[in-house]
Amino acid sequence: SAQRLFISDLHLAPDQPEILAHFLAFLRGRARAAAELYILGDLFDAWIGDDALGDPEVAPDFLQVAASLRELSERGTRCWLMQGNRDFLLGRRFARASGCRLLRDPSLVPMADQSILLMHGDLLCTDDIPYQRFRRRVRNPLVRQLFLLRPRHQRQRIAADYRRRSRAATAAKQTAIMDVSPQTVIQYVRRYRADRLIHGHTHRPGDDPVTLDQRQCLRQVLADWRLNNGEVQAEMLVEEAGRWWREPIQP
C-alpha cells in the first residue's frame, strides 16, 4: 500500500527489553505494509556515538535494531530517521547500518497536496531555558567532537552522569515549561508555510488546531512508547491518500 507511518519517542534502552521486542515485532509485521516509515527522534534513550553500536558494554541488542530496520528497507519500506534530543549523536554510520535516510530537524515534506513540517519537538520548547542552554552546548560542533574523541567507557560514564542529573532537574520543573511554546509553534508554521506540523518529544499525544494568518494548520503530537502494567503502549500516525488516522501498535 502507499501508507506512511509516523512514530517517535521509543526511548529504546537495554533495561526495557519489552519495548525493544515490541519494536522489532513491529518492523517485521505491521511496518511492512507501509511505503514509508518516519521515526521522528528519540528512537534511543541515549546515544554516545555510532561507533558504540554493537559494543557489548553499551547495548548489544541495538545491533538487532539496525539489522531489522535494514531488512525492512530492503523489503521495500523506505525508512527515515530524525535525531531526537536524546539520540542527537545518531549519524551516517548508523544510517548506513540500518538502511535509514537521515532527516534534518525541521524538514518540510510535500505529502498528499499538503506541506508537512516534521520536527522532533524540542526546538518548540523554548520556555525551558535551562534545556535550550544544554542543547546549544552539547550540539556545539567542537564540544561534540571532543566528546566523540573520548574512549567509549568514558563517554558511557559521562552520559550516565548527565541522565542522573537530568532526572532530578526534570522532576523539579513545572510541566508547562516542558510543553511547546504556542508562539514558537506559530513562528515555525508561518516560516515554513506548513499545513500540518507533526512532532513528538512532549509525550502529550493529541491534535491541536493552530490558527494563523486567517488559515488553519493542524499540529499532531506523536505518542511515546511506554510500559503500562507490563503491557507496551504504542501508537502511530498513519497517512494514506490524504487521509490521516492514529492506530495502536499491537504486539
Would you tell me which residues interact with ligand OKV (CB under 6 A)? 46-48, 85-86, 89, 131, 138, 143-144, 147, 158-159, 162-163, 166
**Residue 99 binds Mn ion, judged by CB under 5 A:** no
Alpha helices in the chain (DSSP H): 17-28, 62-74, 92-98, 129-139, 141-149, 152-172, 182-192
Cβ atoms of 241 and 112 closer than 8 Å: yes
User: What is the closest distance, in whole angstroms, from the C-beta atom of residue 111 to ligand OKV in the complex?
Assistant: 28
Nearer Cβ to Mn ion (36/122): 122
Q: Which of 60, 57, 72, 83 is nearest to 23 (CA)?
A: 72
Which among Mn ion, ligand OKV, none contacts residue 105 (Cβ within 5 to 8 A by kind)?
none
User: What is the closest distance, in whole angstroms, from the C-beta atom of residue 192 to ligand OKV in the complex?
Assistant: 24
As a whole number of angstroms, the distance between CA 28 and CA 248 comes to: 16
Which among Mn ion, ligand OKV, none contacts residue 59 (Cβ within 5 to 8 A by kind)?
none
Q: Which of 44, 34, 35 is nearest to 8 (CA)?
A: 44
- What cell was used for 57? 558494554
User: What is the closest distance, in whole angstroms, from the C-beta atom of residue 159 to Mn ion in the complex?
Assistant: 15
Residue labelled with grid coordinates 511554546:
181
The one segment of 48-56, 84-92, 130-138, 145-153 that binds Mn ion by CB under 5 A:
84-92
- What cell was used for 84? 531526537
CB-count exposure of residue 21 (10 Å: 0-12, 13-18, 19+): middle
**Residue 201 binds Mn ion, judged by CB under 5 A:** yes
Q: From the list 36, 62, 77, 84, which residue makes contact with Mn ion (rule: CB under 5 A)?
A: 84
As a whole number of angstroms, the distance between CA 201 and CA 180 comes to: 9
User: What is the closest distance, in whole angstroms, from the C-beta atom of residue 55 to ligand OKV in the complex?
Assistant: 14
Q: From the list 3, 77, 85, 98, which residue makes contact with Mn ion (rule: CB under 5 A)?
A: 85
Nearer Cβ to ligand OKV (62/131): 131
Judged by the rule CB under 5 A, the positions of this chain that interact with Mn ion are: 42, 84-85, 201
